[in-house]
Amino acid sequence: MKIFGVCGSPRKNGNAQWAMEQALQAFEAQGCQTAKLLLSQADIKLCDGSLPAELAANPIKDDMRQVEQAMIEADILVFATPTYFDMVTPQMKNFIDRTDPFYKSLKGKKALILVVGQADEDSRMGTVNYLKQYCTIAGIAVEGALTFQATHKGDLALQPEAAEKIAQQVRAVIRANKP
């Protein structure tokens, strides 16, 4: 199976990236092929309000074309993001907006959601629910959603149970999707 992970943190090597990389490693341990996109590093320009037909005629020149290909080829998508004011980061929201021309091609895929935040679970659930809503719109089945309390870079990696929780969730997703 092919897995594509996207991390919405604007900072490199933060908690959401760590969570996503744990998940990708766990998928690899089960024989899956993985690819990832760090929105902190990628060239993903802002949605300029163009509608799909306009974008087909005049595409925005950035990394989104390669990303589209990778997402369409993937069986399972991993969405990992920090919570910003109970929502995804602006980088993740923009990324989602940029899938507008091809989100219908994601129908039937599966998703795993990973959310980090410094406040309580309620705050992180706002973010989870937004991502679930996107998946509903796109016809993507959410197979798992985990949230973690973490503030500073490196916090989550220090939580002894976090890696195992993610690996367990990945194994459950694999079991549910065995051909």
Ligand X SMILES: Cc1cc2nc3c(=O)[nH]c(=O)nc-3n(C[C@H](O)[C@H](O)[C@H](O)COP(=O)(O)O)c2cc1C
Residue 87 in contact with residue 127, Cβ under 8 Å?
Answer: yes
Q: Is 83 in the site for ligand X (CB under 6 A)?
A: yes
Q: Is 121 in the site for ligand X (CB under 6 A)?
A: no
Q: What is the DSSP letter of 25?
A: H
Q: Is 150 in the site for ligand X (CB under 6 A)?
A: yes
Half-sphere exposure of 108 toward its Cβ, with a 13 Å CA cutoff?
5
If the CB atoms of residues 62 and 86 are measured against ligand X, the closer one turns out to be 86
Residue for token digits 């998703």?
111
Among 39, 74, 78, 82, binds ligand X (CB under 6 A): 82
If the CB atoms of residues 9 and 22 are measured against ligand X, the closer one turns out to be 9
Q: Which stretch binds ligand X (CB under 6 A): 48-56, 76-84, 92-100, 171-179?
A: 76-84
Residue for token digits 């194994």?
171
Residues near 83 by beta carbon (within 8 Å), at least 6 away in sequence? 115, 116, 117, 119, 123, 124, 126, 127
Q: Is 118 in the site for ligand X (CB under 6 A)?
A: yes
Among 46, 69, 85, 100, binds ligand X (CB under 6 A): 85
Radius of gyration of the chain (CA): 15
Binding site for ligand X (CB under 6 A): 9, 11, 14-17, 82-86, 116-119, 123-124, 150-151, 153
